[in-house]
Structure 1
Amino acid sequence: MLTLTRNVYDEIVDHALRDHPIEVCGVVLRRPHEDHTARVVRFRNTAQSPVFHEADSRDLYKVYRDMAERQEELHIVYHSHTASEAYPSAIDVELAQEPSAHNLIISTAPRTFLELRSFLITDGVVAEEDVHIMEGRRAARVSPPKRGPAAGGPS
């Protein structure tokens, strides 16, 4: 299960809506096991594509350097799907590099608008997990019932 603070959730949603129809990508970093220290780092999609995302390698280098200095860990890798549901595409699965990170996808496609789902991806195996948003001391579930990908559609 992935639990997000309301601030982290709102920032990811804002990023996805602000750049739509271009896919967005970013990460959420935190000190180990300290959700209240989470910070969202938005990347510019250098591909500037509605169906593919790519972060600038210089930005990635800076994030990893800052992580080490701040004693943070990579908690979430996120991106948006602008034309399909929030489920990892074959390319998403192939590019998943961090088995300990939650892979969060938000859809801005009209039929699945603001659908938010999280997955653990290890060695090509996709496992969906529930997503909860913390509202004060209460968590509200936002992820839909577990299901596989819809037929067809780009990432």
Structure 2
Amino acid sequence: MLTLTQDLYDRIVEHARQDHPDEACGVVAGPAGTDRPERFVPMLNAARSPTFYEFDSKDLLKLYRDLDDRDEEPVIVYHSHTATEAYPSRTDVTYANEPHAHYVLVSTADKDGLGDFQFRSYRIVDGVITEEEVQVVDAY
């Protein structure tokens, strides 16, 4: 199960809606080994695409150096789907290289009348997708 604060939930959703119609992407970091998301790190979608996202390689290198310096790890890796449901695509599964991370997908298809708003979380390990419950709390 993914447990995150209302503030983090709201910030992820706001980023997804703000970048629409392009996909938004980012990370929520937390202390290594805790599985507790704490630090919101929105990233730039270098692809600037409504159907694909990619982290800028320089930004990603900077992020991982920062995570190492702070003894943190990516607890949540998130992105949005702008015209489809919040379910990992084949490309999403291919790029899922953090076996301990929660992969959050936010569908913003509702903004264009194409579907319902969705906020869903998955574990993706060795190509296997497992949806998990999301619990939103006021504070830890």
Normalised to the residue count of structure 1, the TM-score between the two structures is 0.83
Structure 1 residue 34, shift from structure 2 partner: 7.0
- Structure 1 gap ranges (5+): 138-155
From the superposition, tell whether residues 64 and 136 of structure 1 become closer, same or farther in structure 2 (CA, over 3 Å). Answer: closer
Give, in whole Å, the separation in 2 of the partners of 1:87 and 1:119. 8
1:84·1:112 contact (CA, 8 Å) conserved in 2?
no
Alignment correspondent of 1:104: 104
Partner of 1:125: 128
Q: State the SS of the aligned residue for 1:86.
A: coil
Separation in 1, partners of 2:35, 2:20: 31
Distance, in Å, in 2 between the alignment partners of 1:59 and 1:83 is 26
RMSD over equivalenced CA pairs, Å: 1.4
Q: Scaled by the length of structure 2, what TM-score is found?
A: 0.92
Counterpart residue identity of residue 116, structure 2: T
Q: Deviations over 1:68-101 (max 9, x none)?
A: 1111111010000000000001111111111111
Q: CA deviation at 1:135?
A: 2.6
- Give the match for residue 53 of structure 2: 53
In structure 2, distance between residues paired with 1:31 and 1:93: 25
Distance 2:109 2:126 in 1: 28
Residue matched to 1:7: 7
Stretches (4+) displaced over 4 A: none
How many residue pairs match? The answer is: 135
Task: Confirm or deny: 8 A CA contact 1:3 1:134 kept in the other structure.
Answer: yes
Look up the equivalent residue of 2:24 and give its one-letter code.
V
Inter-CA distance 23–120: structure 2 relative to 1 (3 Å threshold): same
Partner of 2:26: 26
Q: Quickly say closer, same or farther: Cα 1:86–1:34, change in 2 above 3 A.
A: closer
Q: Structure 1 residue 134 and structure 2 residue 132: aligned? A: no
